Structure 1
Amino acid sequence: MKRVLLLATGDTIAHSRSPAGVASGADLLEAVPSGSLEVEVVAEDVMAEPSWDTSPSTMLALCRRARSAILERGFDGVVITHGVDTLEETAFLADLLAGRAAERGGIVLTGAVRLLDDLSADGPRNLASSIVAAADPALRGAGAVVCVNDEVHAARWVTLADAASVAAFSSAPFSALGRVADGRVERLAAPPSRPPVAEGEPETDVALIKTYPGMDSVQLSAVVDAGARGVVLEGTGMGNVPVGLLTTIGELTEWDVPVVVASRSRTRGVPLDELPLGVGLAAKVGAIGARGLAPSKARCALMVALGSGGGVRAVRDWFGGL
């Protein structure tokens, strides 16, 4: 029989109003419809902050536990219950750090938008589908995924599209990887290519700054003065940032502090310096393109890229392999 590890972090999927409380992992399993699972599930509770304030250290701890459960403890898959606010970030970090575990087992993250005792609570069904997905060989090699509303989404593509709907997550404009039906995963699309190998310990002190017209460059230099080892800028369009930041971006690059430019919009996964002059102007002063990643995921990627300890050149090469 397949064995799946459940790492339960509390949050909405485990909360109830009457009586007020937080269900353990074992309690969550009892809420799953009887007879819906044909795998052995071992539940472990993990202390974690509310998902809107999940620390990098907690995210990394979950990723490491998932990886070691497959590589060292012999589990066929891992399910992590997580609040929806930052679920996609933890999922992508788990994907970046999975390594050989991605080939040997499934790593599935899930959550809920309704409390456990709400009418038509979505948590039990999401958990049941996620356990099925984690044990299914159909997802071997796909890396970490998110399973919500019976849909399976690649960690790289998924985003929280509607925090009030049971269909909270979407991969648009990409397709969902698959769906859970009749006790198995039906594949709908090929997964994204695997990321570069993660080397060393990820750097947790990475800043994410939303840019806006007329912003003062002191906001960029201030986070570095406060200790940030790298910066992600959330630009507009295909990756535009205010011209007033360019000098500071150039200075930080010279100081070997990488600056990655992502966009608040969906963009193509091409290098920043391949965009037309004007659009890719930040690349001329040393900025690194996020290769189509959303800003929050670009921050996760920069954390991992900085783990090699190689500075701007190493980070640029690592992002080139995404």
Structure 2
Amino acid sequence: MTKRVLLLATKDTIAYSRRPGHEAIASGADLLKTIPADLLTADVTVEDVLAEPSWDMSPATMLTLARRARAAILDDSFDGVVIIHGTDTLEDTAFLIDLQAGPAALHGGIVLTGAMRHLDDLSTDGPRNLASAITAAADPALAGVGVVACLNDELHAARWVAKVDATSVTAFSSAPHPPVGRVIGTGVEMLAPPPPRPPEPRGEPESDVALIKTYPGIDPVLLTAVVDAGARGIVLEGTGMFNVPVSLLAAISDLTEWDVPVVIASRCRTRDIDLAELPLGSGLAAKVGAIGARSLAPGKARSALMVALGPNGGVKAARDWFQRL
């Protein structure tokens, strides 16, 4: 039986033609036509989604994609979903969708793809990436794996994937983890176990979460300022093993008492360890109430905190959520 795949097209680089006099933006149906019919491995239904450029993608649009992908599998009986997305924030959207997928991830593949080269560039990578993403979404091997990014025939788990090069078609990596799989011909070969599935989400995520990069001499007023502006949670991008300047500790303590969770991620790759388990020097922030992001990159820690806060969550809900991630 032919598999059914829903294609959600948000345009961006994969759809842009930029030659002078030939500027255009291809629809999802137009992009589908770039794939030879004999290379299509599924019956594809296309829905164009009005979206901002990837570098300016709003949480509202990300959540719209998450809801549609989940409903497509659970309510509309699609075997898989492919989302065309710009590459700048593809990893952020992929992880937020993964956190929201719930049981949909157990029943079908949800695959994000895009392109580093424009549609009319020499050796454009878009058509190949799209064909491979459709093949992956239709393959039963992805059921239970969770959301993946498919670029350059590699399948990267949403939790691990990162854009590491702004110019190359080999722009995405899961390092230090391997890709979970790859597309070969008309099927998927799994290469490594996927990360564990996240907890079931609790209602709609909270979109107003701030991400602040720390630096020597940072003024703690930055933390209270974003809360005064409406943020219900903060992720701090620290250094090393979740280190932040001592000058921020009093503000972290105050925010925790006000039931505003402060999560600390690192700009480095880290072990999957609880902040409270670190030695006193590195674990000072835990003593005043901070929550560790474990091995999540700062941007993904922000997505996780958005989901953890839900409709009415606070410090306790966020702490419990990150302990179960």
State the alpha-carbon separation in 1 of the partners of residues 97 and 197 from structure 2: 12
State the alpha-carbon separation in 2 of the partners of residues 117 and 242 from structure 1: 48
State the alpha-carbon separation in 2 of the partners of residues 127 and 240 from structure 1: 40
Q: What does residue 208 of structure 1 align with?
A: 211
State the alpha-carbon separation in 2 of the partners of residues 313 and 237 from structure 1: 26
Q: What is the CA-CA distance between 1:192 and the residue it aligns to? A: 0.3
Matches within 5 A, 1:89-104: 89-104=92-107
State the alpha-carbon separation in 2 of the partners of residues 105 and 260 from structure 1: 32
C-alpha distance after superposition, 1:3-32 (max 9, x if no partner): 000000010000001310110000000011
C-alpha distance after superposition, 1:124-164 (max 9, x if no partner): 00000000000001111011000000000000000001121
1:293 partner SS: coil
TM-score, normalised by the number of residues in structure 1: 0.99
State the alpha-carbon separation in 2 of the partners of residues 308 and 139 from structure 1: 31
Over aligned residues, Cα RMSD in angstroms?
0.7
8 A contact 1:15–1:22 mirrored in 2:
yes
8 A contact 2:260–2:314 mirrored in 1:
yes
Answering whether residue 225 of structure 2 is matched by residue 261 of structure 1, we say no
Q: What does residue 284 of structure 2 align with?
A: 281
State the alpha-carbon separation in 1 of the partners of residues 262 and 41 from structure 2: 47
Q: What does residue 62 of structure 1 align with?
A: 65
Answering whether residue 195 of structure 2 is matched by residue 192 of structure 1, we say yes
Q: What is the CA-CA distance between 1:225 and the residue it aligns to? A: 0.5
1:35 partner SS: helix
2:106 partner SS: helix
TM-score, normalised by the number of residues in structure 2: 0.98
- 1:56 is aligned with what amino acid? P
State the alpha-carbon separation in 1 of the partners of residues 77 and 197 from structure 2: 22
Q: What is the CA-CA distance between 1:308 and the residue it aligns to? A: 5.2
2:234 equivalent among 231, 238, 251: 231
- 1:62 is aligned with what amino acid? L
Q: What does residue 141 of structure 2 align with?
A: 138
Q: What does residue 299 of structure 1 align with?
A: 302
8 A contact 1:37–1:128 mirrored in 2:
yes
Unaligned segments of structure 2, at least 5 residues? none
8 A contact 1:252–1:258 mirrored in 2:
yes
State the alpha-carbon separation in 1 of the partners of residues 202 and 41 from structure 2: 37
1:31 partner SS: coil
8 A contact 1:106–1:134 mirrored in 2:
yes
Aligned-pair identity (%): 71
More divergent stretch after superposition (210-219 vs 29-38): 29-38
Q: What does residue 149 of structure 1 align with?
A: 152
Q: What is the CA-CA distance between 1:33 and the residue it aligns to? A: 3.0
8 A contact 2:41–2:138 mirrored in 1:
no
State the alpha-carbon separation in 1 of the partners of residues 230 and 204 from structure 2: 17
2:27 equivalent among 24, 29, 41: 24
- 2:81 is aligned with what amino acid? V
Q: What does residue 11 of structure 2 align with?
A: 10
State the alpha-carbon separation in 2 of the partners of residues 312 and 217 from structure 1: 19
Answering whether residue 119 of structure 2 is matched by residue 116 of structure 1, we say yes
State the alpha-carbon separation in 2 of the partners of residues 5 and 168 from structure 1: 25
State the alpha-carbon separation in 2 of the partners of residues 183 and 190 from structure 1: 21
2:165 equivalent among 152, 162, 167: 162
8 A contact 1:33–1:124 mirrored in 2:
no
8 A contact 1:8–1:82 mirrored in 2:
yes
1:28 partner SS: helix
C-alpha distance after superposition, 1:166-206 (max 9, x if no partner): 11100000010011002100000000000011001100000
Q: What does residue 181 of structure 2 align with?
A: 178
State the alpha-carbon separation in 2 of the partners of residues 120 and 212 from structure 1: 41
Q: What is the CA-CA distance between 1:34 and the residue it aligns to? A: 3.6
State the alpha-carbon separation in 1 of the partners of residues 215 and 41 from structure 2: 52
State the alpha-carbon separation in 1 of the partners of residues 142 and 27 from structure 2: 27
Unaligned segments of structure 1, at least 5 residues? none
State the alpha-carbon separation in 2 of the partners of residues 218 and 44 from structure 1: 45
Q: What does residue 323 of structure 2 align with?
A: 320
1:297 partner SS: helix
Structure 1 runs, 4 residues or longer, greater than 4 Å off: none
- 1:8 is aligned with what amino acid? A
- 1:2 is aligned with what amino acid? K
Q: What is the CA-CA distance between 1:97 and the residue it aligns to? A: 0.4
